Amino acid sequence: MHYQKVLKMLESIPYLSVGLDVGADFTWMSILLPNGTLVGKPFKIVHCDPASRELAVSKIKEAQEAYSLKSRCFLESTGIYHIPLLCFLRDKGLDCSVINPIITKNSTNMNVRKLHNDKFDSKKAAKVGQDASLKTSIVPADAVIDLRNLVRDYYYFKDLQSAVVLKLNAELKVSFPAYLDVFSKVTAQTSLKLLEAYPLAADMLAAPRDELVETIRNTARFGEKYALSKYDAICAAAKDAAVFGRALPSNALRIRLYIKTYREYQAHLDSILEELHKAVDNLQGDPVYDRICLLQSLRGVGFLSAVVLIAEMGSFDLFSSPKKLYAYFGMDPGVNDSGKFHGDRVHMSKRGSSLARRILHMIAINNLKVDKAAKAPVNPVIYDYYIRKCANKKKIVAVGAVMHKICNIIFAMLRDNKPFELITPKEHCERYAAEHPGSVNIAA
């Protein structure tokens, strides 16, 4: 790949390594020569001071001219604080790379003393930057970063909404226990509307029959018969709450507050989803748009799941094998071997995107579902693979294996630019043998 050729070329050329330890309000910068000698003293860049920022750039360029060397700046990823500085330095024409904080943390200490401060960390980042084998993070295009920010915000509010639902359920378990069995979900629109108007069991019993039935019929729109059956179930639950339940004066206020908060979060989610659709539509003609559409051909993958996976990948072109992709997602095994000891309790490293793992787990579960109407698995190939894994592994481990399988499928789809097609491993072998005469292919 062109990117890898450029990297090899850069590795062969000595350069000034500029280490930057980024903080919220200021950054310490150290410039290191190829022989490990520090150029001057560490310099403090104050983010809100334009003169300080410009002086930092001047110091780097002066060092370049003085030693006739190019420079490479290395910033430790901080989540958000490094982004403005990274963009600023790049706009000034400097070569900048982002390094994973795990790398700098685990790198060899340059001092025997127990020393940790921002100045020392900037020197450490510069020292790490001199390693020719250093793997740096690639900053994706702005459009992909925009998608990533939106999906992360979506699931942030989704988790907050889920926490509110748990609080609402807990409140009802005490004051109105049997109500939770009336509706399939307490957050169904009919349920929320009733609880807003009549939060306590006593309120439900005191409400006029026609008023309750009309509310249910207008909201659920399943007809008179459905409304009457739900009314009877609510009355039975309310009478039971008088025997098995404890309603306090504050229960009504808290239930209404939880419902109000739930609706507010739902409004946030709807607006983010709408913005996501607009952002993806604006990418038409871009490979990112095509890949999002392509992933939706896989069973269990909807619009949101496809956007999350593509956004969290950043750039698929950087992954040369499926192993690199699921290692990036933190699904690689955390090996624990030392000498004669071989750890047999191997877990996922979980050092990658937790959101991507969450989506892959959801996709795996969706592919393991059984269609009740057809009485057959939604994805018979994945289901058969899961059953075979369950023969000698725990179910949770088997689901992890399915996640790996899904990741392999996603990699193949994006690599070959082909939609998902449900075929058995035997059919896959036959096709591969036909397309690659003389090769050997073993089905996973």
Directed axis angle between helix 142-175 and helix 287-295, to 10°?
40
If you average pLDDT over residues 68-81, what whole number do you get?
A: 85
> What is the share, in percent, of the chain residues with pLDDT greater than 70?
87
* Cα of 326 vs its chain's centroid, Å: 13
Two tokens at 406?
């899904």
Q: Domain of 7: which CATH number?
A: 3.30.420
166 shares its domain with 122: no
Contact 279, 150 (CB under 8 A): yes
**Residue 287, Cβ neighbours under 10 Å: how many?**
15
Residue of 79, 80, 131, 84 lying closest to 103 (CA atoms): 131
pLDDT the model gives residue 197: 93
- Domain membership of residue 443 (yes or no) is no
Strands 70-76 and 15-22: parallel
pLDDT the model gives residue 442: 46
Report d(CA 119, CA 409) in Å as an integer: 46
- Domain membership of residue 279 (yes or no) is no
In this predicted structure, the answer to whether residue 36 has a pLDDT above a threshold of 90 is no
269 shares its domain with 288: no
**Residue 428, Cβ neighbours under 10 Å: how many?**
16
pLDDT the model gives residue 242: 87
Strands 70-76 and 43-46: unpaired
Domain boundary among 92, 121, 139: 139
- Domain membership of residue 409 (yes or no) is yes
Query: From residue 130, how far is each of 31, 38, 64, 117, 124 by CA, in Å?
Result: 11, 13, 16, 20, 10
With tokens 């940790």, the residue in question is 116
Strand arrangement, sheet containing 43-46: 43-46, 26-32, 15-22, 70-76, 95-99
309 shares its domain with 187: no
pLDDT the model gives residue 273: 96
Residue of 121, 120, 144 lying closest to 289 (CA atoms): 144
pLDDT the model gives residue 209: 92
pLDDT the model gives residue 9: 47
Report d(CA 124, CA 108) in Å as an integer: 9
How does DSSP classify residue 24? S
pLDDT the model gives residue 6: 47
Domain count across the chain:
3
User: What is the H or E stretch that residue 72 is in?
Assistant: strand 70-76
pLDDT the model gives residue 443: 45
If you average pLDDT over residues 321-335, what whole number do you get?
A: 79
12 shares its domain with 131: yes
In this predicted structure, the answer to whether residue 12 has a pLDDT above a threshold of 70 is no
- Tell me the pLDDT tens digit for each residue of 187-202: 999 999 999 999 999 9
Report d(CA 229, CA 222) in Å as an integer: 11
> What is the share, in percent, of the chain residues with pLDDT greater than 90?
49
256 shares its domain with 328: no
For all residues of the chain together, what is the average pLDDT? Answer: 85
In this predicted structure, the answer to whether residue 76 has a pLDDT above a threshold of 70 is yes
23 shares its domain with 98: yes
pLDDT category at 268 given cuts 50, 70, 90 is: very high
256 shares its domain with 304: no
Q: Domain of 158: which CATH number?
A: 1.10.287
- Tell me the pLDDT tens digit for each residue of 329-345: 888 776 555 555 554 56
pLDDT category at 55 given cuts 50, 70, 90 is: very high
Query: From residue 75, how far is each of 14, 209, 321 by CA, in Å?
Result: 19, 67, 27
Domain that holds residue 217: 146-273
pLDDT category at 101 given cuts 50, 70, 90 is: confident
- Domain membership of residue 340 (yes or no) is no
- Domain membership of residue 426 (yes or no) is yes
Two tokens at 25?
């309000």
**Residue 49, Cβ neighbours under 10 Å: how many?**
12
DSSP H helical ranges for 282-353: 287-295, 303-313, 322-328
Domain boundary among 104, 124, 139: 139
- Tell me the pLDDT tens digit for each residue of 219-266: 988 888 999 999 999 999 999 998 898 888 899 999 999 999 999 999
238 shares its domain with 300: no
Q: From start to end of 91-213, where are the E strands?
A: 95-99
pLDDT the model gives residue 146: 92
pLDDT category at 115 given cuts 50, 70, 90 is: low
pLDDT the model gives residue 59: 92
pLDDT category at 293 given cuts 50, 70, 90 is: very high
Domain boundary among 232, 252, 273: 273
pLDDT the model gives residue 301: 93
- Tell me the pLDDT tens digit for each residue of 432-442: 777 777 655 54
Which range is least confidently modeled, 14-23, 71-80, 185-194, 273-282?
Answer: 71-80
- Domain membership of residue 313 (yes or no) is yes
Report d(CA 311, CA 339) in Å as an integer: 40
Q: Torsion angle of alpha carbons 193, 198, 201, 203, nearest 10°?
A: -150
